[in-house]
């Protein structure tokens, strides 16, 4: 049964309107949540520099993931008109991943979006990687970070007051076909007091989730978002 407090169309192209915490938001197929009234974009778990960190450890991963993720962020900002970007933790993957190429790429990206306020809510990977360089012009805060009525968090919580927007889990769902085929897709998890966002970084993987009684899963398949029967 789909909770009545999350009015989501069964299927939507590109963006999906919803109401959480008494606010109108849009769930974006680009793995982000847009708070429309405040022109604020939320993303979680970028894990920038992950491939570089693996390469530093001797794992020969291909290059280009950082440019891809930053390009996707640019597309979201420009399409939504957002004036603020809030990263719900794990912006950086590891200290070894903060290489000169990442520094140059992010400085150029930040210059292009100098008018967009950028806030990072520290996640568990950020705690180990350290705060981003000051030249990146990122406000770094602990969790929960109050943006009433929202609480910006990394680890999923169910607050007594307010509505939590969280990351960390990298939520996904597995769909199976009649012929035995299966597919895993990223998803949003929407509940009465919190939402868990899908991981934004392309090298993050998925953790299959099972919704609680008061939660709805909204899966993302390419440019389509669709509500799963519950």
Residue 150 in any domain: the answer is yes
Q: By residue range, what is the domain housing residue 23?
A: 11-227
Q: CA geometry: angle at 88 spanning 161 and 167, to 5°?
A: 80
208 within some domain: yes
pLDDT for the residue numbered 170: 95
pLDDT of residue 97: 60
pLDDT of 87-102, one tens digit each? 999 898 667 767 788 8
Look at residue 54 in the predicted model and tell me its pLDDT.
40
What pLDDT shows up at residue 177? 67
Query: What pLDDT is stored for residue 4 in this prediction?
Result: 34
Within a domain: 1: no
pLDDT at 86: 98
Q: Is the residue at 202 inside a domain?
A: yes
Q: Which pTM does this prediction carry? A: 0.88
Residue 47: inside a domain, yes or no? yes
Tell me, what's the pLDDT at 53? 47
**Residue 141 forms part of a structural domain:** yes
Q: Is 136 buried (19+), middle (13-18) or exposed (0-12) by CB count in 10 A?
A: middle
- Calculated CA dihedral for residues 195, 87, 45, 187, nearest 10 degrees: 30
Total domains in the chain come to 1
Residue 200 falls within a domain, yes or no?
yes
Residue 2 lies in a domain: no
Q: Do strands 40-43 and 207-208 pair parallel, antiparallel, or not at all (unpaired)?
A: unpaired
The separation between CA 9 and the C-alpha centre of its own chain, rounded to angstroms, equals 21
Reference 7, options 227, 163, 229, 209; nearest CA is: 227
Collect the ranges in the chain with pLDDT lower than 50: 1-7, 9, 53-62
State the Cα–Cα distance between residues 148 and 51, nearest whole angstrom. 35
pLDDT score at 116:
97
Q: In angstroms, rounded to a whole number, what is the distance separating the alpha carbons of residues 187 and 199? A: 9
CATH code of 203's domain: 3.60.21
């Amino acid at each position: 049964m789909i909770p009545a407090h999350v009015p989501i169309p069964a299927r939507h192209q590109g963006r999906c309107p919803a109401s959480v915490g008494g606010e109108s938001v849009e769930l974006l197929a680009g793995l982000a949540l847009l708070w429309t009234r405040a022109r604020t974009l939320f993303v979680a778990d970028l894990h920038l520099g992950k491939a570089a960190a693996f390469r530093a450890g001797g794992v020969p991963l291909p290059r280009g993931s950082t440019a891809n993720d930053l390009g996707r962020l640019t597309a979201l900002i420009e399409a939504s008109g957002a004036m603020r970007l809030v990263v719900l933790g794990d912006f950086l993957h590891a200290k070894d991943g903060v290489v000169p190429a990442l520094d140059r790429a992010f400085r150029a990206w930040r210059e292009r979006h100098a008018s967009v306020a950028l806030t990072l809510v520290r996640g568990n990977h950020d705690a180990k990687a350290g705060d981003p360089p000051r030249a990146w012009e990122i406000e770094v805060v602990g969790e929960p970070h109050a943006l009433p009525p929202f609480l910006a968090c990394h680890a999923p919580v169910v607050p007594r007051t307010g509505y939590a927007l969280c990351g960390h889990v990298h939520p996904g769902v597995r769909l199976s076909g009649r012929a035995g085929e299966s597919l895993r897709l990223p998803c949003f998890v929407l509940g009465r007091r919190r939402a868990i966002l899908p991981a934004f970084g392309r090298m993050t993987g998925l953790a299959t989730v099972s919704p609680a009684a008061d939660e709805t899963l909204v899966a993302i398949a390419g440019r389509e978002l669709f509500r799963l029967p519950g």
